[in-house]
Structure 1
Amino acid sequence: MRPTLKSTLGAMFETFGAHRATTPPSGDIAMAAHLAVLFKSLKIDLVIDVGADQGQFGTLLRDHVGYTGPIASFEPIPASFATLQHRASIDPMWQVEHAVLGEALGDLPLNVIDLQNFRPAAPPHAQRAPARHTAKIKRQTIPVRTLDDIVPALRTRTKARHIFLKLDTNARDRAILHGGEHALGTIAAIQTELYTDRQFEDLPHYLGLLSFFQAKHFTPNQFFPTTAEANAQPTRFTCCMVNTFHR
Structure 2
Amino acid sequence: MQTLYRRLLTFLPRIGVKVLDLGPGAAVVFRRGDRTGVPVGQGAHLVAQGKGRYAVTSVGSDSWLVARGAKGRKATSVPFGATGARLLLDEAVSAEAEREFQLGAAHYLGAQHVAALLELNRVNCVFDVGANIGQYGKGLRRFGYKGRIVSFEPVSITFEKLQQAAESDPDWQVYNFALGREEAVQSIHIDWKSMNSLLPPSEYGKERYKRFAKGRTEEIEIRRLDDVMQKALEGIEDPRPYLKMDTQGFDMEVFAGAGERISEFVGMQSEVAALALYEGSPLMGEAIAAYEAAGFGVTGMYPVTREPATGRVVEFDCVMVRPGASGSAAG
What TM-score comes out, normalization by structure 2 length?
Answer: 0.55
Distance, in Å, in 2 between the alignment partners of 1:154 and 1:160 is 13
1:242 — aligned with what? Answer: 321
Runs ≥4 residues deviating over 4 A: 24-27, 109-113
Distance, in Å, in 1 between the alignment partners of 2:116 and 2:189 is 41
2:220 — aligned with what? Answer: 142
Superposition RMSD on alpha carbons, in Å? 2.5
Please give the secondary structure, in 1, of the residue aligned with 2:235.
Answer: helix
2:298 — aligned with what? Answer: 220
Flag structure 1 segments of 5+ consecutive residues without an equivalent: 1-23, 114-136
Distance, in Å, in 2 between the alignment partners of 1:154 and 1:147 is 10
Flag structure 2 segments of 5+ consecutive residues without an equivalent: 1-102, 192-215
Instruction: Describe the shift of the 1:107–1:174 C-alpha distance in structure 2 as closer, same or farther (beyond 3 A).
Output: same
Matching of residues 1-247 of structure 1 within 5 Å: 28-63=107-142, 65-109=143-187, 141-230=219-308, 232-244=311-323, 246=325
Please give the secondary structure, in 2, of the residue aligned with 1:183.
Answer: helix
Shift of 1:110: 5.2
Partner AA of 1:40 in structure 2: E
Shift of 1:49: 0.4
Partner AA of 2:173 in structure 1: Q
Q: Does the 8 Å contact 2:300/2:319 carry over to 1?
A: yes
Please give the secondary structure, in 1, of the residue aligned with 2:282.
Answer: coil
Distance, in Å, in 1 between the alignment partners of 2:255 and 2:126 is 16
Q: How many residues align?
A: 199
- Say which structure is richer in helix: 1
Moved more, 100-109 or 66-75: 100-109
Shift of 1:245: 6.9
Shift of 1:165: 0.5
Distance, in Å, in 2 between the alignment partners of 1:90 and 1:160 is 25
Q: Does the 8 Å contact 1:25/1:56 carry over to 2?
A: no
Q: Does the 8 Å contact 2:224/2:258 carry over to 1?
A: yes
Q: Does the 8 Å contact 1:168/1:192 carry over to 2?
A: yes
- Say which structure is richer in strand: 2
Q: Does the 8 Å contact 1:26/1:57 carry over to 2?
A: no
Moved more, 189-198 or 46-55: 189-198
Partner AA of 1:90 in structure 2: S
Decide which structure has the larger Cα Rg and report it: 2
**Identity percentage over the alignment?**
29
Instruction: Describe the shift of the 1:97–1:217 C-alpha distance in structure 2 as closer, same or farther (beyond 3 A).
Output: same
Please give the secondary structure, in 2, of the residue aligned with 1:182.
Answer: helix
